[in-house]
A and B are shown apart, each in its own frame.
Chain A
Amino acid sequence: MISKLPDMFEDIVSQQKYVFNLALRLCGNTEDADDLTQETFLKAIERYDQFRGDANIRTWLSRIAINIFLDSKRKERPHVSLNLGTIPCPAHDPERVIIRREMQWCVQHVLVHHVPEEQKIVLVLRDIYGHSYQEIADMVKISLAAVKSRLHRGRLAFYNHLVKSGCVSFVKDYTCYCEGAAQYEVYL
């Protein structure tokens, strides 16, 4: 079993960006995401011999990260900081960078702070990372029906809070917002 790590090492290394961004979506700030990512890799490398190969490495790492995240939430103090880190903007237009940053902040804020935890995890895994229902069910240890139900309720909760927070009207005001965001419509 010891010899398995060198074989897996490159695969684990290649998932750093994925795990960090998953952590960022779950935690909502770079500081906590940094801690969660580090802890995930520490655990993964300590427990690599438990990796059975029936899941892919990304699913396995996600499961570790989600477990650590949920454990930390149980002990958590209220947290309000939100830092998205670096947001690349290929246009290099300062105004667009600001609009984009505000929009990203808003979406991330609603996701992290207004969607119930159990729904948020499923939403992130499905709508951002495209994991299959079965993979999500395995990662979160819930039934397929629960995955579908949480996903649906999470999407509606996200939308309702986005409208409440004014983010949708924010986008409508900036009709020149890049990448087609202005096409979003409000359905109240």
Chain B
Amino acid sequence: MKCIYDELMLSQYIESDLDAETMEQVACHIKECILCQKTMKRLETAIKFIRSLEESPPLRDYVKNVGDRHKKPER
């Protein structure tokens, strides 16, 4: 079964990327629609997991050697 509501709206709703009136309409719809509630949970979980990725330090100085060649251009 699929909700006739535009799913893309849910991603935009999460990001508050809708006008105030539409935000309210979507919020009301989500309260009533189990399918959209599930989709919302999936989207939120995906975002949380993706954001959980940690940064690594760069392996080396990528600019130094290249930069030294360019820093003082020959005239």
Contact = CB atoms under 8 A, between A and B. Distances in A.
Interface stretch (A51-59, A67-75, A145-153): A145-153
A38 interface: yes
Chief secondary structure at chain A's binding surface: helix
Interface residues of A, number: 54
B58 A16 contact: yes
Interface string A77-92: 0000000111110000
A76 interface: no
Contacts of B57: 17, 20, 86
Contacts of B43: 152, 155-156, 159
B56 A107 contact: no
A159 B45 contact: yes
Contacts of A84: 56
Contacts of B38: 187
A45 B50 contact: no
A155 B53 contact: no
B21 interface: no
A30 interface: yes
Contacts, number: 123
A107 B52 contact: yes
B66 A41 contact: yes
A176 B57 CA distance: 27
Nearest to A183: B48
Give the one of A86, A103, A127 with max B CB within 10 A: A127
Contacts of A86: 56-57
B52 A41 contact: no
A46 to B, nearest CB: 8
Nearest to A171: B49
B62 A20 contact: yes
A45 B42 contact: no
B53 A25 contact: yes
B46 A5 contact: no
A148 B12 contact: yes
16 contacts: A9-B67, A16-B58, A25-B53, A41-B62, A86-B56, A104-B53, A127-B47, A149-B8, A151-B11, A152-B43, A155-B47, A156-B39, A156-B46, A159-B46, A187-B41, A187-B45
